[in-house]
């Protein structure tokens, strides 16, 4: 029997809405610029015919750096964005055929999803073999992750609701037959809302990029879907030669017994 909760967890729409509103803040826009810089290094090297942005927390074309011409954005609530074909659908139940997309980008969707495993399985289903999956999420092993131990209980921090580390993502993707190509991170400043404080701490950016390259507030994980080949087992020729005399003997004996019954 499942025990009741003392506090009802926030729904996916509530968490996604608060995070989407946070991205409209000055700090959120700065983080988005850093994430677009990461995508600008990753997407131009991924080729194919169809690219899918799964989830739309921000009204921006995150696939702008991709060389793929047909770009789709899918979510339950969409805002029109130039260069993206809208697809109104649940991220864990896409109306797309199996193995039909070359590149899938998840922009903080796993951070707000009530069932991130289902979203990953659906992304794996629509992705072609040798296709690429790009996951952007908040890094718990960063200054932003440590902020949860020092923040005030009433502080509004939607980016701390649910954080999944790149190591956990790597374990999940391994179970789904993915090879992790690499992980990069960005934005090494603390999550302070005052722009003047962030400017005074700007020296942390080059220091973090040099000595703590995977300790940024946001990470981008690139994974490639493995090709599963099923090779049918065939009997080798020497084994067939060994079986053929026995089969002939059995066939002749059955024919002889049948002839005797007729006589």
Q: Specify the pLDDT at position 193.
A: 81
CB environment 146-164: b (16+ within 10 A), e (fewer):
ebeeeeeeeeeebbbbbbb
pLDDT category of residue 1 using cuts at 50, 70 and 90:
very low
Average pLDDT over residues 76-98: 91
Q: Specify the pLDDT at position 154.
A: 43
CATH superfamily of the 12-225 domain: Vaccinia Virus protein VP39 (3.40.50.150)
What are the tens digits of pLDDT across the range 211-235? 888 888 899 999 999 876 555 555 4
Q: Is the pLDDT of residue 180 over 90?
A: yes
More confident residue, 255 or 196: 196
Q: Is the pLDDT of residue 88 over 70?
A: yes
What are the tens digits of pLDDT across the range 226-263? 876 555 555 444 444 444 454 445 555 555 555 555 55
Domain boundaries, the chain: 12-225
Pairing relation of β-strands 70-75 and 50-54? parallel
More confident residue, 136 or 78: 136
Q: Is the pLDDT of residue 73 over 90?
A: yes
More confident residue, 238 or 149: 149
Q: Specify the pLDDT at position 37.
A: 93
Average pLDDT over residues 52-75: 93
Average pLDDT, the chain: 81
More confident residue, 157 or 167: 167
């Amino acid at each position: 029997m499942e025990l009741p909760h003392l506090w009802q967890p926030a729904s996916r729409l509530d968490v996604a809405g608060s995070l989407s509103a946070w991205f409209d803040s000055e700090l959120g826009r700065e983080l988005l610029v850093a994430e677009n810089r990461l995508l600008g290094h990753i997407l131009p090297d991924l080729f194919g015919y169809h690219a899918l942005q799964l989830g739309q927390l921000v009204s921006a074309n995150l696939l702008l750096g991709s060389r793929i011409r047909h770009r789709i954005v899918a979510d339950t609530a969409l805002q029109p964005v130039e260069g993206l074909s809208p697809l109104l659908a649940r991220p864990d139940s896409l109306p797309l055929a199996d193995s039909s997309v070359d590149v899938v980008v998840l922009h903080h969707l796993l951070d707000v999803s009530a069932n991130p495993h289902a979203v990953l399985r659906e992304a794996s289903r629509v992705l072609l073999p040798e296709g690429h999956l790009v996951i952007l999420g908040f890094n718990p092993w960063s200054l932003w992750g440590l902020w949860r131990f020092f923040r005030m209980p009433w502080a509004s921090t939607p980016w701390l609701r649910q954080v999944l580390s790149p190591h956990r993502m790597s374990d999940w993707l391994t179970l789904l037959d993915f090879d992790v190509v690499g992980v990069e991170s960005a934005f090494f400043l603390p999550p302070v809302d005052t722009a003047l404080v962030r400017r005074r701490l700007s020296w942390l950016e080059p220091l973090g990029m040099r000595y703590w390259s995977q300790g940024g507030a946001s990470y981008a994980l690139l994974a490639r879907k493995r090709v599963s080949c099923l090779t049918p087992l065939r009997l080798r020729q020497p084994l067939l030669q060994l079986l053929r005399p026995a089969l002939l003997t059995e066939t002749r004996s059955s024919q002889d017994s049948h002839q005797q019954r007729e006589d």
